[in-house]
């Protein structure tokens, strides 16, 4: 079928007569599928009234709430293109998103509006809808949806028409606009949601990752809506205490989070007292889950974690562990509907056991990067997407993460996987998280580890030596960290993924400062010696 509109994900639930079933569970109450349908219809009618045309963009700077679902689905319903972005992002990035996307409408949280008012005053062509709080000269979201109507037929869009964008943060430069088509959401529900989650109408989904992110969008919108299940929405930042309270209050059956939060939760007060018995499976993505964290989590809660790998470009997880086939320390096997290849620098497949770059093929792949032709050509190679992740396929056919292609470290002419060193460090009882980078020490490549020890460090020198010895014992001799730094946290993306490039940048700045300081000391010493020689009439 070539004609498709992704918003009809909602129609199947309504047509099945499940209008009174709970769609969304919020801290303020619940929203039924019937109520959500009327909100979607109201947003679509409002956008139509503004004259929003097919494929014109609607920028969404929203936290997780029913307003997100209504705006996202309502925009797609009329053939417009919703563009959700991180509400906690920098103001200059919010301005960039508006300018880069050519958005005609901005739907924004009231608390964030003041930071953009000056720019919006100079852009009267942008229509602004405000969610919650004071709206000033703009339109209140609640006013738009106050008199919702029944859903009308969606715009007659093609499955390859652009449906929505997601902005993906890169290691350098501005975030990239990732353009997805109307077919893509259905692909992820038919593959991962159906085959790995085995999601059903009785499930309750709770994701600590927000809706603006590809992972959260599937967890809290498309997956539950594909079967008429419920989604739990929590506004604000995700922290262990709030997560535990939400689990106790809402009794989710599927729980989605990221390694950084799993590591924080098992160490947090109340972890062992929180009742996770309603949860039949936990899911982890964004970056590989250390086997030690999985073990601690299962000991604490009794629930397994299905680790997997996905990306914004592929919309969700395409390689995963399952409840029937759980292999700690790996990303599992390809999700049905996807194919994986591990290739060398020439794009030639490497044999099992040998690391290389991961390529993935599947129908959920984005169409292109907006305004980034060269990036599109470099990463979207025919039917295959170049992920930028280094992996190897082990003897069991599972895929084992080695690190990002630009994170790999060469020591003594041998490649070191930062993931291997980090996983080893996390197995030490004092360490909850670790990040490893390559550094230059006396012009020689070495490994530096940044570690988080939630219980504190009595003697850094002693623990540093203990961790080096620990790695020498459990890894190849050249893979141990030559330097260990103890930190409270790492620079992270919005989903909690460690930004190792920022650690490298900070290290480079520190090294440059040390070199400059050393040069200054040498100059001062040289000047002092010259003065001494002159005072004593000693030839230079």
Confidence label for 260 from pLDDT (cuts 50, 70 and 90) = confident
| Cβ–Cβ < 8 Å for 453, 463 | yes
Q: What is the pLDDT of residue 143?
A: 95
Domain presence at residue 283 = yes
68 and 21 belong to one structural domain: yes
Torsion sign across C-alpha atoms 453, 455, 459, 465: negative
446 and 396 belong to one structural domain: no
Question: What value does the mean pLDDT take over residues 138-166?
Answer: 94
CA torsion angle for 74, 77, 78, 84 (degrees, to 10)?
50
Domain presence at residue 196 = no
For residue 412, pLDDT beyond 90: no
Residue 29, beta-bridge partner list: 26
382 and 445 belong to one structural domain: no
Q: What is the pLDDT of residue 516?
A: 56
Q: What is the pLDDT of residue 525?
A: 62
Domain presence at residue 242 = yes
Question: What value does the mean pLDDT take over residues 479-484?
Answer: 92
| pLDDT tens per residue across span 73-89 | 999 999 999 999 999 99
Domain presence at residue 221 = no
Q: What is the pLDDT of residue 517?
A: 56
Confidence label for 169 from pLDDT (cuts 50, 70 and 90) = confident
Phi, psi of 536 (to 5 degrees): -105, 10
Query: What does the alpha-carbon distance between residue 207 and residue 234 come to, in Å, rounded to a whole number?
Result: 9
DSSP 487-526: -S---B-TT--B-HHHHHHHHHHHHHHHHHHHHHHHHHHH
| pLDDT tens per residue across span 227-255 | 999 999 999 999 999 999 999 999 999 99
Task: Specify the range with the lowest mean pLDDT, choosing from 41-50, 160-169, 498-507.
Answer: 498-507
187 and 171 belong to one structural domain: no
Give the domain CATH number at 110: 3.40.50.980
For residue 55, pLDDT beyond 80: yes
177 and 187 belong to one structural domain: no
Q: Is 85 helix (H, G, I), strand (E, B) or coil?
A: coil
Residue 484 in tokens: 């260990």
Question: What value does the mean pLDDT take over residues 147-165?
Answer: 93
Last residue of a domain, one of 402, 428, 444: 402
295 and 351 belong to one structural domain: yes
Domain presence at residue 507 = yes
Question: What value does the mean pLDDT take over residues 444-453?
Answer: 91
Domain presence at residue 105 = yes
| pLDDT tens per residue across span 293-331 | 999 999 999 999 999 999 999 999 999 999 999 999 999
Give the number of domains in the chain.
3
Structural domain of 105:
1-181
Domain presence at residue 289 = yes
Give the domain CATH number at 371: 3.40.50.12780
176 and 187 belong to one structural domain: no
393 and 413 belong to one structural domain: no
Confidence label for 507 from pLDDT (cuts 50, 70 and 90) = confident
Query: What does the alpha-carbon distance between residue 336 and residue 320 come to, in Å, rounded to a whole number?
Result: 10
Distance of CA 539 to the CA centre of its chain: 66
151 and 212 belong to one structural domain: no
Confidence label for 286 from pLDDT (cuts 50, 70 and 90) = confident
343 and 439 belong to one structural domain: no
Q: What is the pLDDT of residue 520?
A: 59
Domain presence at residue 197 = no
Last residue of a domain, one of 402, 435, 456: 402
Confidence label for 287 from pLDDT (cuts 50, 70 and 90) = confident
292 and 151 belong to one structural domain: no
Last residue of a domain, one of 377, 402, 427: 402
519 and 430 belong to one structural domain: yes
Confidence label for 132 from pLDDT (cuts 50, 70 and 90) = very high
Confidence label for 522 from pLDDT (cuts 50, 70 and 90) = low
């Amino acid at each position: 079928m070539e004609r498709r509109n992704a918003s009809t994900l909602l129609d199947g639930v309504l047509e099945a007569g499940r209008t009174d079933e709970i769609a969304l569970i919020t801290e303020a109450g619940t929203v039924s599928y019937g109520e959500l349908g009327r909100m979607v219809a109201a947003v679509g009618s409002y956008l139509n009234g503004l004259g929003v045309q097919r494929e014109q963009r609607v920028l969404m700077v929203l936290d997780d709430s029913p307003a997100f679902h209504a705006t996202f689905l309502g925009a797609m319903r009329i053939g417009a293109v919703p563009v959700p972005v991180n509400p906690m992002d920098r103001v200059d990035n919010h301005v960039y998103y508006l300018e880069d996307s050519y958005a005609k409408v901005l739907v924004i949280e009231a608390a964030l509006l003041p930071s953009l008012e000056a720019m919006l005053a100079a852009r009267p062509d942008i229509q602004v809808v405000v969610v919650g709080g004071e709206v000033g000269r703009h339109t209140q979201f609640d006013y738009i949806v106050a008199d919702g109507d029944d859903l009308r037929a969606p715009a007659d869009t093609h499955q390859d028409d652009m449906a929505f964008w997601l902005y993906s943060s890169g290691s350098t430069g501005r975030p990239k606009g990732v353009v997805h088509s109307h077919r893509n959401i259905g692909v992820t529900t038919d593959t991962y949601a159906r085959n790995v989650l085995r999601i059903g109408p009785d499930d309750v989904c709770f994701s600590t990752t927000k809706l603006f992110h590809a992972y959260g969008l599937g967890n809290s919108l498309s997956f539950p809506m594909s079967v008429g299940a419920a989604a739990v929405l929590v506004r604000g930042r995700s922290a262990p205490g709030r997560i535990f309270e939400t689990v106790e209050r809402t009794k989710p059956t599927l729980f989605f989070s990221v390694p950084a939060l799993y590591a924080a939760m098992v160490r947090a007060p109340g972890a062992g007292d929180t009742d996770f018995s309603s949860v039949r499976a936990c899911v982890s993505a964004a970056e590989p889950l250390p086997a030690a964290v999985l073990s601690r989590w299962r000991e604490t809660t009794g629930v397994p974690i299905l680790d997997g790998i996905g990306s914004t470009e592929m919309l969700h997880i395409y390689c995963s562990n399952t409840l029937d086939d759980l292999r700690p320390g790996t990303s599992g096997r390809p999700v049905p509907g996807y194919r994986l290849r591990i290739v060398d620098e020439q794009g030639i497949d490497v044999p099992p056991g040998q690391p290389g770059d991961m390529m993935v093929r599947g129908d959920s792949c984005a169409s292109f990067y907006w305004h980034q032709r060269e990036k599109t050509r470099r990463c979207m190679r025919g039917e295959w997407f170049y992920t930028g992740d280094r992996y190897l396929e082990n003897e069991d056919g599972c895929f084992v993460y080695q690190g990002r292609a630009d994170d790999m470290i060469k020591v003594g002419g041998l490649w070191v996987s930062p993931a291997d060193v980090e996983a080893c460090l996390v197995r030490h009882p004092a360490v909850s998280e670790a990040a490893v980078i390559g550094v230059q020490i006396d012009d020689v490549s070495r490994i530096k580890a940044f570690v988080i020890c939630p219980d504190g460090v009595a003697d850094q020198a002693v623990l540093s030596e203990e961790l080096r010895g620990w790695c020498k014992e459990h890894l190849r001799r050249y893979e141990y960290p030559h330097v260990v730094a103890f930190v409270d946290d790492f620079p992270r993306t919005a989903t909690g993924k460690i930004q190792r490039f920022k650690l490298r940048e900070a290290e480079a700045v520190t090294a440059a400062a040390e070199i400059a300081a050393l040069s200054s000391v040498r100059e001062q010493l040289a000047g002092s010696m010259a003065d001494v020689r002159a005072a004593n009439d000693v030839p230079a």
